Amino acid sequence: MSGFRTYFSQDFVAGLLVFLIALPLCVGISLASGFPPLAGIFTAIAGAVICPMISNSELTIKGPAAGLIVIVLGCIEEFGGNGSSGGWLPEDTTAYKATLAVAVVAAILQVAFGVFRAGILGEFFPGTVVHGMLAAIGVIIIAKQIPFALGITDASGGPLTLLRQIPSFLQHANPAIAVIGITSLIIMFVWPIIKVRSSLLRPIPSHLVVLLVAVPLGMYLNLTTAHEYQVFESRYTLGEQYLVRMPERMFGMFDEIESPDFSVLTQFRAWKWVFLFFMIGSLESLLSAKAVDLLDPYKRRSDMNRDMLAVGIANFGAAMVGGLPMISEIVRSRANIDNGAKTRFANFWHGIFLLLCVGLIPTVLHLIPLAALAAMLVYTGTRLAHPSEFRNVYRIGKEQLLLFVVTLVTVLATDLLIGVAVGIALKMVLHLSNGVPLRSFFKAYVEVEDVDPQTSRIVAKESAIFSNWIPFRRQIEDIGLVQKRNIILDLSGTTLVDASVMEKLEQLADDFEQEGLRLELRGLDELRAVSEDAHSMRIRGLTPVRRLTIVAPPELTRQLTEKFVALGATGYTETPCFGVGRRMLEQEIQEPRPQTRIEVIMTHAACDLVLDFLRNDIIPDYPVTVCVETVDVARVTSFIGDLQTPPHAVAHWKCLWVPEDLQSCGRHPSAVMQDTFVGSGER
């Protein structure tokens, strides 16, 4: 509790600013999930009061998240409800209570996982598949919320159907409501750009600006009273159906409390949703908590098992009173950090503000237009499915983009569970096709030896992939973090190290650094990276590079070689020779003249720089011949210079001697020719 007193002012202010973001989001997520509007606020309050007392995650904000909308609404629809679309009917209440029962059981599973320290199971799922699932959730949110932002309350169908109907939604939109929705959406996109330019506006969240604009617009349109209006020859209705439904009296929130209907647990279909609530909720919460730890300016690390226990208990409490499932929410957590929060009590204060707001001024909340909330969720969906997600995945590797797109499309066409399963199955098939032994899919093959009293060396065999990462990680942690030893991890004996493991090894290295230890990776230069990204998959095999051969007058040799090294060459060969060029033959000169043959093996990027230099500065003025061919090398890092990678990743070579049997063709011993293309200047 010392942090409560010491950092009271910072946490109080941060909690207030996060509350301004959380209030409309909690209501909007609740409505989009098919729950009553107050259910999301119940969840945020439960997370704010319970989690700080159990979890040591200092800066995460617990509450309902857009990523869970799809599974919660799916469960509601499974039991015959459709939320508040078209009014709150008896069947909606039945479905709501059934979903609460599902959430209670999922929360108990989360508690069990926390108690038995099984939080590490969240490490199993490949990052690209998870991102593909989240992108699909973003598309589904956009598809389902666009009609509400345009004033259409009777839209139905799956996400692909709704996306195809967007032109129809625009054609049949309620103009007055569409003005509120479109204006709100513009603010959500434009305000972050505006506030970057002004330190005074920076603390004001875009969600608050939307409310400050949308609520007066709703009052101007008199949405609290049912009436009609005409635009050209069409008539439209306005009324309270376009506003958030709230209690009509102070502390009327307690009348909204509902209890679960546990009788539905006798139905087989309920357990599918229990698993989805548990799996997706736990995974998103763990990933978000880890992301927030990386943003923590004090580099504090959360105990993921303890955090899972806290989320499970809070979810149990929220579901028992009618709340949505919760996770560690990344957007509000980032706002919490940006607004100066120091401890977990900022989360507590944001919950207290929510409690006071919904308890004391529910009639004010009733004035919030549903279209404004829908616009906020459309914006959230675009962040989950942003085009940059596709670019980032593609940079890691083409196979990662394939996984991402297949998972996304499958989720849209079927459901979350099938989409994730297909993504994982596809990743396994790709690994098999790349030579990963089947026996190493779920078992980590390692050898351990002591280097000195403080350091151990772990030699990995077979493969290091997402499906055997958990035992692989346990081995590293048990020897390193538990026994307080530095680790040298040798990956040279593996067939494949996948992108998920590359990313997780980077995070694990940070954990070692936090403990004053070192995790050093070796042997990656023996494997081929499928892209230039640091997290790209590594495969045993040769790596394509370029071999550049230049025949030039001897007086140019020093100028050329110095420039090649400056542009990234890690070495070169220089061979005196004699020759006759086309110009000399045209002048009937038959006597060979002295020449120098220079050969350099370079990465594609460095070779492009050298070719630009030769084309612009050398070929127009000097008689030289330039040849380029693609070759495969066993160790690509031998040809990557300081300008291309950090110094610790570079292994330089300089060829001063070539075996006699290779001199005639000028090949470096470590290069294997694959295919050839030639460009030349006149000599």
Contact 125, 321 (CB under 8 A): no
Q: Assess whether 580 and 662 both reside in one domain.
A: yes
Q: What is the pLDDT of residue 157?
A: 85
Calculate what percentage of the chain has a pLDDT beyond 90. 70
Going by pLDDT thresholds of 50, 70 and 90, the confidence category of residue 641 is low
Does 649 have pLDDT greater than 70? no
Domain boundary among 361, 390, 419: 390
Mean local confidence (pLDDT), 642-668: 36
* pLDDT > 60? residue 663: no
Position 289 in a domain: yes
Residues 271 and 312 in one domain: yes
Looking at the domain assignment, is residue 96 inside a domain? Answer: yes
pLDDT for the residue numbered 670: 36
Residue 476 lies inside a defined structural domain of this protein: yes
Domain that holds residue 466: 439-538
Q: Mean pLDDT, to the nearest integer, of 456-465?
A: 95
Distances (CA, A) of 656 to 571, 572, 594: 9, 8, 20
Q: How many CB atoms lie within 10 A of CB 565?
A: 16
Q: Is the dihedral of CA 195, 197, 198, 203 positive or negative?
A: positive
Instruction: Identify the pLDDT of residue 615.
Output: 93
pLDDT of residue 673: 35
Above 80 in pLDDT, residue 650? no
Is pLDDT above 50 for 656?
A: no
**Are residues 616 and 484 part of one domain?**
no
- Please say if the pLDDT value at position 228 is more than 90: yes
Query: What's the average model confidence in pLDDT over 426-439?
Result: 94
Last residue of a domain, one of 406, 432, 458: 432
Structural domain tally of the chain?
4
Q: Is the pLDDT of residue 506 over 50?
A: yes
Q: Do 171 and 31 fall within a single domain? A: yes
Assess whether 103 and 204 both reside in one domain: yes
Name the pLDDT band for 677 (thresholds 50, 70, 90). Answer: very low
pLDDT at 248 over 90: no
CA atoms within 13 A on the CB side of 598: 25
Is the domain of 664 the same as that of 533? Answer: no
* pLDDT above 60 for 131: yes
Distance CA 534, CA 73 (A): 38
pLDDT in tens, 45-102: 999 999 999 999 999 999 999 989 999 999 999 999 987 666 788 999 999 999 999 9
Residue 242's pLDDT is what? 94
Whether 385 is covered by a domain: the verdict is yes
Q: Which of 77-91, 332-346, 585-599 has the highest mean pLDDT?
A: 332-346
Asked if residue 379 has pLDDT above 80, the reply is yes
Residue 683 located in a structural domain: no
Domain with 530 in it: what CATH number? Answer: 3.30.750.24
Domain identity same for 367 and 478 = no
Q: Which amino acid is at 592?
A: P
How many other CB atoms are found less than 10 A from the CB of residue 478? Answer: 11
3-class SS letters over 107-138: HHHHHHHHHCCCHHHHHCCCHHHHHHHHHHHH
Q: Tokens in use for 681?
A: 């200047």
pLDDT value at position 122? 74
Rounded mean pLDDT, 647-661? 33
Q: How far lies 558's CA from each of 52, 204, 242, 596, in Å?
A: 67, 61, 77, 11
Domain endpoint, select from 538, 559, 579: 538
Residue 679 has pLDDT above 60, yes or no: no
Q: Return the pLDDT at 504.
A: 92
Handedness of CA 564, 565, 566, 568 (dihedral sign): positive
Lowest mean pLDDT among 245-249, 306-310, 492-496: 245-249
Cα–Cα distance, 83 to 96 (Å, whole number): 8
Residue 164 domain flag: yes
Q: Is 560 domain-assigned?
A: yes
Same domain assignment for residues 174 and 235: yes
Distance CA 566, CA 560 (A): 10
Cβ pair 347, 292 in contact under 8 A: no
* C-alpha closest to that of 403 among 540, 276, 530, 544: 530
Contact criterion met (CB below 8 Å) for 458 and 446: yes
Taking residues 632-647, report their average pLDDT: 65
- 620 located within any domain: yes
Strands 455-464 and 494-497: parallel
The reported pLDDT for the residue numbered 638 is 75
Whether the CA torsion 389, 390, 395, 396 is positive or negative: it is positive
pLDDT of residue 84: 67
Residues forming a β-bridge with 462: 494
- pLDDT average, residue stretch 668-677: 35
Q: 547 and 512: one domain?
A: no
Q: Are strands 455-464 and 445-452 parallel, antiparallel or unpaired?
A: antiparallel
What was the pLDDT predicted at 642? 55
Going by pLDDT thresholds of 50, 70 and 90, the confidence category of residue 680 is very low
Q: Do 241 and 143 sit in the same domain of this protein?
A: yes
Taking all residues of the chain, what is their mean pLDDT, rounded to a whole number?
A: 88
Check pLDDT > 70 for residue 667.
Answer: no
Residues 496 and 557 in one domain: no
Percent residues over pLDDT 70 in the chain:
93
CATH code, 547: 3.30.70.120
563 versus 657: the higher-pLDDT residue is: 563
Whether 217 and 326 share a structural domain: yes
Q: How buried is residue 588: exposed, middle or buried, by Cβ count under 10 Å (0-12/13-18/19+)?
A: exposed
Find the range with the poorest average confidence among 116-120, 174-178, 391-395: 116-120
